[in-house]
Structure 1
Amino acid sequence: MEAADLLVLLDAQQFRRLRVIENLLRERKTVSTLYWGQRYRLLYLLGLAKKMPRGALDLPAQTLRQQGLIVTGETPDQVRMTPKGEQQATQAYYQPQTRDTWTRLDLMAARQRILLAVQVTSQYAHKTKRYYPLATDLATRQAVRRWFHQAKGQSLPERLFVSLKTALEQLPEMVAEVVTALFTGYQQPGQTVDQLARKYQRTPWEIYLMQLDGLMQIAQDAQNQNHPLRSLLQPTWQSPVSRSAQQTLAAMGRGRSLEQIATARRIKPSTVREHLLEAAILMPVTAFPYDWILTPEIQHAFATALAGPIDSWQYSALPQALQERYAFFYFRLYAIWCDKRGVERA
């Protein structure tokens, strides 16, 4: 990730922590990372660069500081765009159209499956039996092999071509060109991200985002019953909430208290609270039982005590009596609830 890629992830008003952005990219799903990822509107970054080394954003941030595009907050880890940085960030940088749905799909698995399926189908259309398949993991090879044996037939190449064309026509022309150029097929080795970055005068990361946008659109279209990739991609759809957190949420749905859930699941009460906060952050506001936990009494107590932007709220600044009555869990859940509803107090 280059300085230009980091700049568009920052804000002119809100100080953002580099470590939070880094942890999102590396898929370090602590409640703190998820909460601030929600506040930054950057949850779509989850897991997009799992192998990114710790501290990888420090050098791009240093470059932005030297160029006068960002300023540092109370700690070097907190940064915000300057007016000059805001002006530069508004220049043409691609913002993926499908990014709000990315956490619902195992994008990396879907990416490998689509690329290999396109290659296999292309070679099949030209009756080529000897070629080097794309390097993928064993699970991907097995999944594509099963799909191909079930789907192959004279109509498969045409059906796949039409479905891909339909998906990519819903995106900007450059994105369609990038996704198509990255495909490998018969007598087409497929261009690399770096090659396309030079061609279009974009950063490799921006080209990568374009590819993911195109692949996500293909995956969304593949939910159609008659889509040729439906059976291949269906297993890659996922809940953004971890399985353990889903189990905790299900247990709560049976009317148990937090303590009863902890006992029944043989986990710590603190783990139950973490699971519920994770679910609240990653699920739509209408899908989480806020009213069951945040009683009218709790809502009134926090509404009375808290004022100003949500980012300025501090549990330690609450009246001592309120802290003794309600644990940090309720404070954080209330903030998530207000954020999800677009509530900012004056």
Structure 2
Amino acid sequence: MEAADLLALLDQQQFRRLRVIENLLRERKTVSTLYWGQRYHLLYLVGLAKKLPRGALDAPARELQQRGFITVGETPDQIRLSPAGQAAQAQTRYYQPQTQATWSQLDLMAARQRILLAVQVVSQYAHSTKRYYPLTTDLETRQAVRRWFYQVKSARLSEQTFVSLQKSLEQLPEATASVVTALFTGYQQPGLTAEQLAREQQRTPWEITLMQLDGVMQIAGDAQAEDQPLTRLLRSVWRSPVTRSAQQTLAAMGQGRSLEQIAAARRIKPSTAREHLLEAAILLPRDQFPYDWILTPTMRQEFANVLTGPIDDWQYTAMPQALQDRYAFFYFRLYAIWCDKRGVEDA
């Protein structure tokens, strides 16, 4: 990730922590990381660069600081845009994915690998080519594509696949569709790399990746909506954004049990049960979490009386001691999540 990529993720008003952005990319899904990812509106980044080294954003941040594009907060980890940085961000034609709101519902990396290999296989099959070098992928991807190919193999497979891909790509910006197509490998077409396309289009490789993932999500979403050649291939990479363990805790909460009862029944610590519920609250739409059952009207009113101003400025330890004694940090954080989602979804 380059300085231009980090610049696109920053805000002029809100200090954002580099470690939070880094941990989102690396899929270090602690409740704290997810909460601030929600506050930054950057949850779509989760798991997009799992092999990113720790501290990989430090050099881009230093470059932005040297150029006068950011100011540093109380710690070097906290940064926000300077007026010059805001002007630079506004003047940049940095790509904003149009499908990012649904990225958490799909294993994007697995879907990308399956689509790329499937396109190559179908292209070579259409030209009756049996000897070629398949794309380098993991064993699971190769097995999934092999099973899928023998399930859907027919004389019309190449035509059907082309039509479905064309239909999906037509719904994207022309530049995005061109990038997705250029990254495909097929018969007598080696396919360009993200680095090659970045140089050609004067973008960063990361920006090219975001454009490709936008295309992957569009293709996968269309394949889910109607039966087409890629439907079976991508069916197993759809997922809930919430971990299975957190789903189980949430389901138990829906049965009217207390946190202590849930923890005892599931043989987990009450603190773990609370973390599960906060994870679900952050990652699920507001209407899919039982806020009304957990945050009583009395509790909401008491919090509203003392928690004013920007949500980022709220501090549990700044509340009256009597309120801290009555309500654990869990309820404070859940109230903040609820308020945040109301602001986003009701806007």
* Structure 1 length-normalised TM: 0.98
Alignment partner of 1:333 is 2:334 = yes
Once the two structures are superposed, what CA deviation does each residue of 1:4-27 show, in whole Å capped at 9, x if it has no partner? 000010000000000000000000
The 5-angstrom pairing of residues 142-221 of structure 1 reads 142-221=143-222
Separation in 1, partners of 2:228, 2:291: 38
Q: Distance in 1 between matches of 2:71 and 2:331?
A: 33
In structure 1, C-alpha distance between the alignment counterparts of 2:110 and 2:208, rounded to whole Å: 18
Give, in whole Å, the separation in 2 of the partners of 1:76 and 1:120. 48
Work out the number of aligned pairs and report it. 343
Partner of 1:36: 36
Residue deviations 1:185-210 (CA, integer Å, cap 9, x gap)? 00001101110000000000000100
Distance 2:147 2:136 in 1: 17
For residues 140 and 298 of structure 1, the distance between their equivalents in structure 2, rounded to whole angstroms, comes to 49
Query: What does residue 2 of structure 1 align with?
Result: 2
Paired residue secondary structure (1:342): helix
Q: Which runs of 5+ in 2 are unaligned?
A: none
Report how far residue 243 of structure 1 moved: 0.5
Give me the whole-angstrom Cα distance separating, in 2, the residues matched to 1:215 and 1:284.
23
Which deviations, in whole Å up to 9, do the C-alpha atoms of 1:85-142 show, x marking residues without a partner?
A: 1111122100000011101100011011000100000000000001111111111111
Separation in structure 2 between the aligned mates of residue 320 and residue 224 of structure 1, nearest angstrom: 52
**Residue 324 of structure 2 aligns with which residue?**
323
**Matched AA of 2:322:** A
**Residues 127-138 of structure 1 correspond to what in structure 2 (within 5 A)?**
127-138=128-139
Match for residue 14 of structure 1? 14
Amino acid in the other structure paired with 1:75: T
Output the CA distance in 2 between the equivalents of 1:97 and 1:225.
20
For structure 1, the residue ranges without an aligned partner over 5 or more in a row are: none
Aligned counterparts, 1:1-346, within 5 A: 1-90=1-90, 91-342=92-343
Distance 1:224 1:19 in 2: 37
CA distance in 2, matches of 1:338, 1:79: 24
Question: Within 1, Cα distance between the matches of 2:305 and 2:111?
Answer: 47
What's the CA shift string for 1:313-341, capped at 9, x where partnerless?
A: 00010000000000000000000000000
What SS does structure 2 have at the residue aligned with 1:9?
coil
Q: Which structure 1 residue ranges, 4+ long, deviate > 2 Å from structure 2?
A: none
CA-atom RMSD, angstroms? 0.7
Q: Kindly state the Cα deviation for residue 172 of structure 1 after the two structures are TM-superposed.
A: 1.0
Residue 95 of structure 1: SS of its match in structure 2? coil
Q: Give, as a single letter, the amino acid of the residue that structure 1 aligns with 2:315.
A: Q
- d(CA) in 1 for partners of 2:228 and 2:278? 36
Identity %: 76
Q: In structure 2, the residue corresponding to 1:223 is in which secondary structure? A: helix
3-state DSSP class of the match of 1:190? Answer: coil
